[in-house]
Chain A
């Protein structure tokens, strides 16, 4: 299983901050498609994906036990 995190506006869009999904073996690109299917609009949020707390590339593959986070454009400072 993969643990997914949603933050800020994406937490409000999805109505959840964390969930589990059976996405092991899928790529980050697959994950985005899965999320867009489940939460229409998330694909327009300019979100990046982090795997295990590091920014990932679209072709990176999720492994069982990974944590993936949707990172909308940041606004710290």
Chain B
């Protein structure tokens, strides 16, 4: 396994927590994002995720570097699953370790916000009566070196 990866198999969150755990770390935050059944009153049957895998892994690693700059001493591992995912499956896991808890909490939230901005991964919601690629959940960043 890699610290920043796109995977097709079910994610074991503990593996990523273990990857960032080290003697200097007094805190590890482990976020798991799951497939939600109901969104704004519409029932999702399952999700299909697609990625531009090599670029997505580069962008995940970039988020890791951004975090290490913003929160010195923090260490990050992120995995995102693609393919067909069922309700409650883990779509994404973010593990952050840091000497103290505040940085681990803050950096973990920063990571998921950045994933939704810059990482080329797309989600299609499949409902009982249709399906749609989801986009623009956050503001669209300007072009250029993000």
Contact = CB atoms under 8 A, between A and B. Distances in A.
B25 interface: no
Interface size class of B (residues with CB under 8 A): 20 to 34
Contact of B123 (A11, A50, A71, A76): A76
A75 B137 contact: yes
Contacts of B115: 76-77
B146 A74 contact: no
Contact of B50 (A8, A50, A54, A77): A8
B133 A50 contact: no
Interface in A52-70: 53-58, 69
A49 B121 CA distance: 14
A73 B122 CA distance: 8
B80 A76 contact: yes
B49 interface: yes
Interface in B55-78: 55-56, 58
B40 interface: no
Interface of B: 33, 49-52, 54-56, 58, 80, 91-92, 112, 115-124, 133-137, 140, 143-146
Give 3 closest A-B pairs by Cβ, nearest first: A76-B121, A73-B135, A8-B122
